[in-house]
Amino acid sequence: MAIPKIVITGGPCAGKSTGMATLVERLSDYGFRVFVVPEVPTFLFASGLTPGKMKNATQLYLLEKMIVATQIYLEKSIEKTAAEIYPRDKKIILCDRGVMDHRAYFPSEEHWIQLLKEQKYNFVNLRDCYVSVVHLVTAALGAEKFYTLGNNPARTETLAQAVAIDRKTRECWLGHPHFKIIDNSTDFDGKIRRVLSAVCKALDILAPTEIERKFLVASIDFNRMPPYQKIHIEQIYLKSDNPAKELRIRKRGQDGSFLYFFTEKWETDDPRERGEKERIIGLRQFLEMQSQRDPDKTTIKKDRICFLWKDQYFELDIYKSPGLSGLIILEIELTEKSEDVMLPPFITIEKEVTGDKRYYNNNLAKK
């Protein structure tokens, strides 16, 4: 059985990196082994093969031809190897852009058609081999004040250019049976929630939400627990020049397989909501960033039990760090502030601690 592949794509400064990081984490909570096909042009351009150095359409065509071939090779190789190594596991492949994205960067539509003929590619198979395609609209279209070139050194597009690229990329996916466009009609957190919801819908699983409530747990009856996933987490807090902004790196995984994340958090006016921006980093970067560790804070170690109850998504954090042993916090993220919480009967709650800063991980880490 083929591993489902989902494309996360979008225009410049659309939030794609944060969306990818969120999806990796949340889908892992649901029991998936998540494999990521990286954005192919980004690492190929690092070799010196960059469009800016190309002098004519033939050179650009050959570059894009190589990008498409590499994309197809990576997707097939990852799918084949993942299936062989983890034959019984529930798996998903997330593609940071898909084959059809590259069509937008060919010198002309005639060059794209030339590629299809030369390589005998089946256009429909290239487009529809993914179970879903989720396109995040550039901030340049509807959230202009948030459009920036600062968080990506390779980004040079003006507002108008970003809009043009965004629309051209979307057009390349027209006809796909499950093509979702995530616009800027909500705030950024809402945008990422809709990305997550779209992906979860494509996979027929419940989408978790973002507005948070926390409860201090007195006891748990594991004999009555529904099916769950146990995730091991280690969080290291970094020095921050801005006291209002929390910086951390995190090691997260299970069964000896881990991914690494860098997260920024900040408070909002509502104690139930916190701003958050997260991206995936590599092991090397995770190790290097530990040199920026906040010396006044210890590493937070905890096991996270992720489960569903009454169509709501819960996370049960059982702390393992010295000095925190025995502390258990139940968390739930809601779509609406007024939404009722159906607390599980197999968990005894001592009290609600939503908004109580003593139970923020950042404060729990203080020595």
Domains held by the chain: number = 2
Task: Look at residues 195, 61, 41 and name the one whose alpha carbon lies nearest to residue 133.
Answer: 195
Is residue 140 domain-shared with residue 220, that is, in the same domain?
Answer: no
Is it the case that residue 208 has pLDDT exceeding 50? no
- Rounded average pLDDT over 83-97: 96
Could you read off the pLDDT of 303-356 as tens digits, one per residue? 988 887 875 678 899 999 988 989 999 998 764 565 578 899 999 999 999 989
Residues 31 and 116 in one domain: yes
Same domain? For 168 and 100 the reply is: yes
pLDDT of residue 46 exceeding 60: yes
Residue 143 sits in the same domain as residue 236: no
Residues 191 and 305 in one domain: no
> Domain of 119?
5-202
Chain centre to alpha carbon of residue 96: 10
Residues 142, 185: contact at Cβ < 8 Å?
yes
Clarify whether residues 30 and 174 are in a common domain: yes
Residue 251 identity: K
Q: Which two tokens stand for residue 104?
A: 């937008």
Instruction: Provide the 10 A C-beta neighbour count for residue 66.
Output: 13
Question: Which helix (H) or strand (E) is 72 found in, with range?
Answer: helix 57-85
**What three-state secondary structure class fits 127?**
helix
Is residue 305 within 8 A of residue 318, CB to CB? The reply is yes
Question: What's this model's pTM, rounded to 2 decimal places?
Answer: 0.67
The tokens for 223 are 């004999």
- Contact predicate 114/162, CB 8 Å: no
Question: 159: domain CATH number?
Answer: 3.40.50.300
Domain co-membership, 182 together with 254: no
